[in-house]
Amino acid sequence: MNSAEFWKFLERSAEETTDPARRLDWLAYRLNRVSLEHIADFQVHLEAARRPLDTYAMWGAANQIMDGLCSSDGFWYFQPWLIGQGQRWWQHVAQNPDNLADLPAVRALAGRSLWERADAEWPHWEELAYVASSAYDHITGREDSLYEALDARGHRPYFDPAPIDEPWDSDSLAEIEQRLPRLMRLFPRQHYVKP
């Protein structure tokens, strides 16, 4: 599975259904019917797609959408959600985190409190990170067998955010206004921010 096939596979799941749980079922069903090599490829491409998103700039943008409540786990789960939006949106947002303001799934959250958001709307998709591992383990009958296979390929997965840019204060109104003006207009925060 090359990168183009990875994106096509992921986007096909969105054509089948927009419900995250059903998409996951669709992906799991299909991954259980391809070679172990293709399953490992899927995981490698998923992790490669994370890299350009794993920045403090993107974390700050996710934090803005989540009203200042984006923990490291929340950011880790946000990344596969963003990848799940498809290659076009992934590329657009990776260029500039403030471009999240263009994403229909993000715009649908604007003007609503955290408590008014349905679970399926929440910008996280933790389970996508584990779908390949589950399929691999199911086929081999061994737990963590995907990570053994990736290690044999010389691929070292990572399991937590490891931002590659300079940190900034995503709770500072001045910093948010400067870095994320469009997201700030969509998601103004009165709480949890410093002047």
Which of 102, 91, 66, 104 has the alpha carbon at shortest distance from 182?
102
| SS3 state at 111 | coil
- The 10s digit of each residue's pLDDT in 132-141 is 999 999 999 9
pLDDT per residue of the chain (195 residues) written in tens, 0 to 9? 999 999 999 999 999 998 999 999 999 999 999 999 999 999 999 999 999 999 999 999 999 999 888 999 999 999 999 999 999 999 999 999 999 999 999 999 998 888 888 888 889 999 999 999 999 999 999 999 999 999 999 998 888 999 989 999 988 889 999 999 999 999 987 555 555
Per-residue confidence (pLDDT) for residue 157, from 0 to 100: 84
Structure tokens at 151: 């290690």
Find all residues with CB under 8 Å of 117, minimum gap 6, and list them. 109
Per-residue confidence (pLDDT) for residue 193, from 0 to 100: 53
Q: How far does Cα 32 stand from its chain's mean position?
A: 22
- The 10s digit of each residue's pLDDT in 25-45 is 999 999 999 999 999 999 999
Q: What is the dihedral of CA 137, 81, 47, 129, to 10 degrees?
A: -20
What global pTM score does this model have?
A: 0.93
Which of 155, 161, 162, 141 has the alpha carbon at shortest distance from 41?
155
